Amino acid sequence: MTINRRTFLAALTAAPAATLVSGQAQAESSPAKTGLPPVLHQFSLGDARVTVFLDGHLPLGPQLFANYDAQKANAVLAQGLHQMTPEGVNIPVNGYLVERGSEKMLIDAGTADLMGPNLGAMGAGLAALGVTPAEISMILLTHMHPDHSGGLVASDGTAVFPNAELVVSQVEWAFWHDDAIMASVPEGSRAFFQMARMTVAPYQNRLRLIDGETAVVAGITSLPLPGHTPGHMGYMLDSGGQQLLFWGDIIHSTALQFAYPDWTIAFDTDPVLTATTRHKMLDRAASEGLLLTGSHIDFPGLGRVLRQSEGYRYQAAPWQFGL
């Protein structure tokens, strides 16, 4: 695909005070977070067990949404329990552990201490399960934003998961390691690139770059979902005749973007492609009745997409008892 540099630069400069960058500064100027409690949900899919971890939450202010219409937002918020706080509408950050047989695989790794005090609980969730970092055999990244890759690296720059193979899109890797692109963005926004590179650096000798729709491991297939980042990727889990789609950041706000799929956010590198990919996936999910989960869908983030007169809506799956 062609990287839309213009829209990427516009996204960075549109974000007031570069939200992710200021989050990093906050984390670096305060002690490492250790007090967030583990929050997790487990369910089975065929012969696989999936654990969803709530890494924490962050707000999306109205100024971060393209095409934001306060009247429309207030109308859809009034239909549910989401609220627009002074900071914005809060969204979760979710990460995943997939266990099949002896294999323990992560899909995304949380933020660690890169984005302020309300995030970074995924490590505590793994510890609460009794899973050690050394037991993780593979990490599949949806993309290289710090709320997905921050948990890969310790404060001393070493790999948190010493035995894990890192799987990431070739397009995604190339984008964040392109010196020319990094040099072309405003100086304050280069932290996006620096964080992306820093978090994956310890895994370069255990790195697998994938391209397109690929069988990553038995039962897990990659699915290119470009737009939010150039190499943004989803993963389809097939287990025991059942499917679960991990669709990464197709949706950031459960409250607003199912109803208004064209509302992109400032951190989408290519807003037009982001909206196109979102419409395509919402249509596919609704048509096929897909069970899906997403990094920013309301925890535990498991459900399906339904059509409504205008746009779509999200239907949460019932709690699964008796694992």
Using the predicted structure, report yes or no on whether residue 9 has a pLDDT greater than 70: no
How many whole angstroms separate alpha carbon 34 and alpha carbon 113? 9
276 has a pLDDT exceeding 70: yes
pLDDT at 323: 63
Report if pTM > 0.85: yes
Average pLDDT score over residue span 234-255: 97
Extract the tokens encoding 254: 């459960």
Note the CATH number of domain 5-316.
3.60.15.10
* Distances, alpha carbon 279 to alpha carbons 69, 257, 287, in Å: 19, 10, 12
Query: Rounded to an integer, what distance in angstroms lies between the CA atom of residue 42 and that of residue 141?
Result: 20
Task: Say whether pLDDT at 108 is over 60.
Answer: yes
pLDDT digits (tens, 9 = 90+) for 37-67: 999 999 999 999 999 999 999 999 999 999 9
Structure confidence by residue, pLDDT tens digits, 184-201: 988 878 889 999 999 999
Q: Is the pLDDT of residue 105 over 80?
A: yes
Sign of the torsion angle spanned by Cα atoms 127, 130, 135, 136: negative
Mean pLDDT of 131-151: 97
pLDDT for 19 equals 38
Nearest alpha-carbon partner for 222 in 275, 172, 267, 175 = 172
Taking 50 as the threshold, does the pLDDT of residue 13 lie above it? no
Percent of the chain with pLDDT over 90: 81
